[in-house]
Amino acid sequence: MDQTSDLLIDLRDILKEFEKKSISGDLRGRVIALVPAFDAIREIGKSLVTDGLQKSARDRLLAYFLEYPQTVLREKELAVVAGISEWARRVRELRVEFGWKIITGMTASQMINAEELGERDIDLADLAPNDYVLIDKEQDRDAAHRWNVANEIRKGPGGSRQKILEYLRKNVGKQVTGEELSYVAQSTEWARRTRELRTEEGWPIVTRQSDNPNLPIGVYVLEEDR
């Protein structure tokens, strides 16, 4: 019998015990009786990933993202796989510290509104702000350094378009994600501002939608500093 099956048996036993207490117990007693069930469900979620009980929450989340790239993953399913309440922070670590190209539903929606991302690229039905998408299975090992640069620019003076341009110019020829540009700009209109840099000011910024179909979805490249 595998780990998941064993955990399911434990959960059934816990729920049977709760059913007995729920008949005559007070409110707090019934709540406390449910705590083991809550913990058991978390353990079941961990066990669904191969060797999940032996992995960290971050490793389980990464395995799940890699299993379903370019797929909208809902926040509740990620919470189940992670098995911890701080799962969103672990996703951010995967993106910021480890360079996995993960964008949020909010960023994807902003890119679609600015016509920088086509709905045909990923399944965007009923996309919610706290959904996530791994846009490319290739890890970006320079991401941690870029995020430090992004943080400095974000705190500096200037408007969103100026900050986006400054960040792109510090990364000429490199792939940066919409999530990075959104962070730098601190504006929901960051995708539109980035497009204006290309169409109105003439900066050679390319995406999969414009001029370079070989790029991963949701990625921007300033080809030359001119």
Q: Please give the model's pTM, rounded to 2 decimal places.
A: 0.77
Sign, CA dihedral 131-136-138-142, equals negative
pLDDT at 224 over 70: yes
The C-alpha atoms of residue 127 and residue 73 are separated, in whole angstroms, by 9
Residue 120 phi, psi dihedral angles, 5° rounding? -75, -15
Picking from 57, 65, 177, 41, the residue whose alpha carbon sits closest to that of residue 131 is 65
Mean pLDDT of 90-112: 88
Mean pLDDT of 83-112: 90
The residues pairing with 73 across neighbouring beta strands, listed in sequence order, are 132
pLDDT at 216 over 90: no
Q: Which two tokens stand for residue 140?
A: 């970006």
Cβ–Cβ < 8 Å for 178, 132: no
pLDDT in tens, 30-56: 788 888 888 898 899 899 898 888 899
pLDDT for 130 = 86
Place of tokens 């929901």: 188
